[in-house]
């Protein structure tokens, strides 16, 4: 009987201890200021400005992959007379994620978007939402680039090299094309020494500083100042350039030409020999015969 009573006593003490812990936790929670329990909002990657126009309820939504271009473009569009008449705000969102491209273009959220042609075809944006090409970058080639030797498209050669790629799965010259090359050569990514960069400029810095032996990118005229054409090897000759698409659910010609004019003006101010070569399609300045 004494042994039974002792066991019961231990169980009772344990139960009381648990109840006390729960009670203390509840009391403590009541004293916590609710404001301290709130988490800060997720930082959204967008630039927004007011046109100071009368149509306050209308927002021109732009989707792009570069922050600096998003900010410059939104500021320029907010000052365009046609945009001022038709919209109260311009919101430019930047993101590299293919999922976000599908979200903004596939669901018709973006009014203006810089998109690769194959993605636009995949979501049927032209037939579904009336997206039309307003301007396009030229086709280009993808290269393996080194500083001291011409890269070889060879399995044994690449196994011993430190390789720089872009950390964006949608980039063709910086990610998709070289990854496909490695697979064709029978190379596992786990066996390669790959470092990832956030931009083509960062890739070049990694290469010239000796952090990597090879990068995968496009070639631009300014590269002549820091690199040599003798040390580049093409891995795909004909890569279609990205295109600017404007949603034209109505035949809004004034907006089409205003956007095209702004895009061409900003492109001409780019330092890049590639991104400055933006072509209007079709050219609003050329009157049909």
- The DSSP annotation for 214-249 comes to EEEE---GGGGGTS-GGGEEEEEEEEPPPEEEEE-S
What's 289's DSSP letter?
-
Verify cis geometry, omega within 30 degrees of 0, for the bond prior to 141: no
pLDDT of 264 reads 95
Q: Where are the domains of the chain?
A: 46-138+241-280, 140-239
pLDDT of 123 reads 87
Q: How far is CA 119 from the centre of its chain?
A: 13
Residue 280's H or E segment, with its range, is strand 279-280
> Coil, strand, or helix at residue 4?
helix
Pick the CATH number of 46-138+241-280 from 3.40.190.180, 3.40.50.300, 3.10.129.10, 3.40.50.2000: 3.40.190.180
> What is the C-alpha separation between 221 and 224, in angstroms, rounded?
6
Q: Could you read off the pLDDT of 176-231 as tens digits, one per residue?
A: 999 999 999 999 999 999 999 988 999 999 999 999 999 999 998 889 999 999 99
pLDDT of 51 reads 95
Q: How far is CA 281 from the centre of its chain?
A: 23
**Ordered DSSP codes for 23-83:** HHHHHHHHHS-GGGGPPPPPPP-EEEEE---S-TT-EEEEEES-HHHHHHHHHHHHT-HHH
242 touches 279 (CB < 8 A): no
* Equal CATH topology for 46-138+241-280 and 140-239: yes
pLDDT of 13 reads 58
pLDDT of 286 reads 59
What's 186's DSSP letter?
T
User: Is the CA virtual torsion 133, 134, 140, 143 positive or negative?
Assistant: negative
Longest dimension (CA), the chain: 111
The hierarchical CATH code for the domain 140-239 is 3.40.190.10
Average pLDDT by consecutive 10-residue portion of the chain (289 residues)? 45 57 53 36 70 92 89 95 96 83 89 90 89 94 96 95 90 92 94 92 96 95 92 92 93 95 92 83 70
244 touches 136 (CB < 8 A): yes
């Amino acid at each position: 009987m004494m042994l039974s009573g002792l066991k019961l006593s231990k169980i009772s003490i344990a139960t009381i201890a648990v109840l006390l812990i729960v009670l203390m936790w509840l009391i403590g929670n009541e004293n916590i200021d609710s404001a301290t329990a709130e988490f800060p909002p997720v930082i959204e990657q967008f630039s927004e400005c007011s046109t100071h126009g009368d149509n306050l309820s209308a927002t021109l939504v732009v989707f792009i992959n570069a922050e600096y271009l998003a900010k410059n473009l939104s500021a320029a569009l907010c000052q365009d007379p046609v945009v001022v008449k038709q919209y109260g705000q311009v919101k430019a969102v930047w993101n590299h994620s293919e999922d976000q491209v599908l979200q903004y273009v596939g669901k018709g959220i973006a009014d203006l978007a810089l998109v690769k042609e194959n993605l636009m075809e995949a979501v049927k944006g032209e037939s579904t939402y009336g997206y039309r090409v307003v301007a396009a970058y030229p086709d280009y080639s993808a290269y393996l680039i080194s500083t001291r030797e011409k890269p070889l498209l060879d399995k044994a050669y690449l196994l011993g090299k430190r390789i720089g790629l872009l950390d964006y799965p949608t980039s063709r010259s910086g990610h998709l094309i070289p990854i496909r090359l490695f697979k064709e050569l029978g190379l596992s990514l786990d066996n390669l020494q790959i470092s990832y960069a956030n931009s083509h400029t960062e890739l070049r810095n990694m290469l010239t500083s000796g952090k990597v032996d090879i990068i995968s990118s496009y070639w631009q005229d300014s590269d002549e100042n820091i690199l040599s054409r003798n040390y580049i090897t093409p891995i795909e000759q004909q890569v279609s350039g990205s295109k600017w698409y404007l949603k034209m659910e109505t035949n809004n010609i004034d907006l089409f030409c205003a956007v095209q004019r702004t895009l061409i003006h900003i492109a001409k101010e780019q330092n890049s020999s590639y991104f400055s070569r933006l072509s209007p399609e079709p050219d609003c300045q050329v009157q049909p015969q």
